[in-house]
Amino acid sequence: MIGVRFTPARSQGGLGARLAVGALVRLGHNPRVSADSPLLAARQILSRTFGHAAFRGLQEGVIGEILAGRSAIAVLPTGGGKSLCYQIPSLMLEGLGLVVSPLIALMADQVAGMRQMGVAAARLDSTASPEERRETWSRIEAGTLDLLYISPEGLMQPAMLERLSRLKLALVAIDEAHCVSQWGHDFRPEYRNLGRLTEVFPDVPRLAVTATADARTREDIRNELRLQGAREFVDSFARPELILSAERKTGRGRKRVIELVKARPNRSGVVYSGSRDGAEEMAAELVEAGAPALAYHAGLDKQVRADRLTKFLDAEEAVMVATIAFGMGVDKPDVRYVIHADPPSSIEAYWQEIGRAGRDGEPAEGITLYSSADLSWALRRIDTRELSDEVRQVQVRKVRQLYAMLEGMGCRAAAVRRYFGETGVEPCGQCDLCVAPPAAIDASLAAQKALSAVHRLGGRTGRGRVVDHLLGKTKDPSSAETQMSTFGVGTEFSPAGWRDLLDQLLFEGLLREDPNDGRPLVGLGDVDAVRAVYRGERKVQVRRAPEAHDAGTRSGRPRKERGGVPLAVDEGDMALFNALRAWRRDEAARQAVPPYVIFHDRTLAELAQARPANRDALARIGGVGQGKLDRYAGALLALVAQG
């Protein structure tokens, strides 16, 4: 049982939060009232200070654990309200709430938000002037500060620890706790020192929070931060408002990014680039195309970054083209899309970066462009880092898992949730693979030919030469090459078809690329996996059949047919089809998303033909998953009944 005592509100700072519940709530450790009273007070603060009617997900359980004086680990999804789990207890428990945060931008954003709500919050970081630091310490020592944000480097300074150890602390919260793990996607060595906090503040509850941590990362958080006895709260990673898609890109994919941004006017979006130069160049091309784009990366002057961030946060329509230096701490609720012009480094990074969209709970898109060249670059980057063999293997596996998800056949959202350890996961019904499931085509025989050709060429050639070899079109081949059993055996596919298949083999780790000073050489990948393909024990499946070879064209590529294939809609169904399209247009405008995100034309055509009379019949229409059935069944069935 936890006791509660009420004291008058202080005269400066942070008082709005406490006055909002009628009194300053301070929890001691004498059993005086029912165990539910602290949570009742927490709900009142949630409502009156933060403006939320009820806790979401596991928030209440985490807060209850901290109010009981116990440490905890909380893994809550991006947008799931992790910060409330330490902000509310800091307003209730006696003493100062100490929050460890890795980025100045993250601290600045949260402090500004707290102050807007009347909560006394401050930060101590490298940008603070001596005068600001003195003022902050005066407020701390006077007991008029509720929350103090500080970096791990700043906190672990001996003088800082000694000074804080003389104070009464309500809690210590370690934000972005995945940074402590070398298995995570954003390892920061300075986080490893935070385990010492259990010695410096032995009686203070500690809370480690993050949005992305698989089971191994969570175990590392527990061990490194010395939280062995702490209860673990892991919420669902479901983000039903996010509509996910991915596509292979051509070249650097910039033309496609411009197309995607221009198709989403009057909305805020984020475009992630893998390099500073790439961010600058992409932003310039978007501006030239008429989009309100800004570049953001760590190489910019601090004031320039701050100005651009402010402009982005304030604008209703803005496109931030950024490296991963932009993200954590940016709590803009109405970002309607995130586009990865270059793919992230892992599924953890993907989910965190995609999670910048749709924080207001409204529909938003996450679009990723990727290629086998991106995969090769990611693997080369790991090779250049100073890592132990064990950590290197883990990081390579994480990259492979990301590309397996991007190139996969099943629901993207479900794949991510299973990666984080969720069970009983159902398809989302709205990602690109749910809306238009790809047909799995067995390409094992062609894969055997390609792998055998690479083996016989000895890993001394690039992809183009491998393709020419398979087609029997190598320029001035040696007699040794023409006598190889694989020379000219691949005339069933065009050059583009073979390149697509080689990409697939690279994604699956059956092939690898040696960078060779910018002229990559293709060699065999995992030996056991290659042998399994040779023996027929492992199938190689592709989403679409590789493009066929056309002997009647000079390039070997099939001639393109003029015009597209018209959508088959009977004349008697056309009125209903048009009514459905009009409804979809209005619904898309209301949600500020492209019409195809609601339903594809093919789904509407099937609806117009089948004319379902109830939810069960509607659920059998292609492209109508459970999420869309729950959201749109009433409107669709009404239109069908009228049509």
Residue 340 has pLDDT above 90, yes or no: yes
Contacts 24+ apart (CB under 8 A), 298-301: 298/323, 298/325
* pLDDT band, very low/low/confident/very high, at 14 (cuts 50, 70, 90): very low
The chain-wide mean pLDDT, for the chain, equals 83
Query: What DSSP letter does each residue of 263-296 carry, written as one string?
Result: TSTTSEEEEE-SSHHHHHHHHHHHHHTT--EEEE
Q: What is the mean pLDDT of residues 445-452?
A: 94
List of domains in the chain: 4-234 (3.40.50.300), 242-435 (3.40.50.300), 441-542 (1.10.10.10), 571-642 (1.10.150.80)
Cα-Cα-Cα-Cα torsion 480, 484, 489, 494, nearest 10 degrees, comes to -50
Give 514-549 pLDDT, tens digit per residue: 767 657 788 998 899 899 999 999 998 887 667 676
Give 283-316 pLDDT, tens digit per residue: 999 999 999 999 998 888 888 988 888 888 888 7
Give 486-512 pLDDT, tens digit per residue: 999 998 888 888 988 887 888 777 888
Q: Which of 15-29, 120-134, 189-203, 568-582 has the lowest mean pLDDT?
A: 15-29
Q: What are phi and psi of 394, to 5 degrees?
A: -65, -45
pLDDT the model gives residue 145: 93
Pairwise CA distance, residues 411 & 433, whole Å: 6
With CA atoms as reference, report the closest residue to 494 among 520, 521, 470.
470
Q: What is the mean pLDDT of residues 413-425?
A: 84
Q: Which residue has the tokens 């402009």?
A: 311
* pLDDT band, very low/low/confident/very high, at 365 (cuts 50, 70, 90): very high
* pLDDT band, very low/low/confident/very high, at 118 (cuts 50, 70, 90): confident
pLDDT the model gives residue 621: 84
Cα-Cα-Cα-Cα torsion 78, 269, 273, 127, nearest 10 degrees, comes to -70
Give 310-337 pLDDT, tens digit per residue: 888 888 789 999 987 676 556 688 899 9
**Which is higher by pLDDT, 359 or 152?**
152
With CA atoms as reference, report the closest residue to 106 among 89, 82, 90.
82
pLDDT the model gives residue 328: 52
**Strand 319-322 relative to strand 268-272: parallel, antiparallel, unpaired?**
parallel
Residue 574 has pLDDT above 80, yes or no: yes
Let me know: does 356 contact 410? Beta carbons within 8 Å: no
pLDDT the model gives residue 553: 66
Residue 8 has pLDDT above 70, yes or no: no
Give 103-112 pLDDT, tens digit per residue: 776 787 778 7
% of residues, the chain, pLDDT over 70: 87
The number of beta carbons lying within 10 Å of the beta carbon of residue 597 is: 19
Pairwise CA distance, residues 358 & 335, whole Å: 6
